[in-house]
Amino acid sequence: MVMPYDSTPDTLRHSLRVAELMGELIKELLDRSVRHDLSKTREPERAVYDKFVPSLRATNYGSVEYLTLVEAMGEGLRHHYAHNRHHPEHFANGINGMTLVDLLEMLVDWKAATERTAHGDLAASLTINRERFDIAPQLMDILVNTARHFGWLAAEPDHNAAS
């Protein structure tokens, strides 16, 4: 007599394998959480950030004044982008070169950056960055859904802004 199939052992093995693979993602996220932006504490970045961060905090993200300051950061900022994968500027093809882990760190970085200024707003930053980095509609939805899931949005990004 053939015993009826019991899917429980296969399901439990699958569940353990998924946990193992998710552990790899979690480890990567934890490693990045303790290494995030440490290059800013060393030259050639530190002097540039010491000089420009106070002015950047006083400007509105995406404004002409902000963009002028970012351009003036020159080699220090280019070094930062070259050594930090959570920036689209790190990749020759921008956001399309990023991994999901890069994207998660990027979104968290954008959220934390909005908290450093008086007028910071993640919804506004997402709207600006959608155009700045040519974020595809589907990816934009995923970023917004993630931010919404964690309660990071005080308002909704403008999905209708011109790209």
Sorted by where each begins, the domain ranges of the chain are 37-84, 94-163
Q: What share of the chain is helix, strand, coil (3-state, %, to 5)?
A: 65, 0, 35
- Given a contact cutoff of 8 angstroms between Cβ atoms, the answer to whether 84 and 39 are in contact is yes
Q: Looking at residue 5, what DSSP letter applies?
A: P
Planar angle of CA 58, 59, 61, nearest 5 degrees: 135
Burial class (CB in 10 A: 0-12, 13-18, 19+), 62: middle
Planar angle of CA 159, 128, 40, nearest 5 degrees: 140
- The secondary structure of 37-73, three-state, reads CHHHHCCCHHHHHHHHHHHHHCCCCCCHHHHHHHHHC
- Written as tens digits, the pLDDT of the chain (163 aa) is 888 999 999 999 999 999 999 999 999 999 999 999 999 999 999 999 999 999 999 999 999 999 999 999 999 999 999 999 999 999 999 999 999 999 999 999 999 999 998 889 999 999 999 999 999 999 999 999 999 999 999 878 876 654 4
What pTM did the predictor assign?
A: 0.90
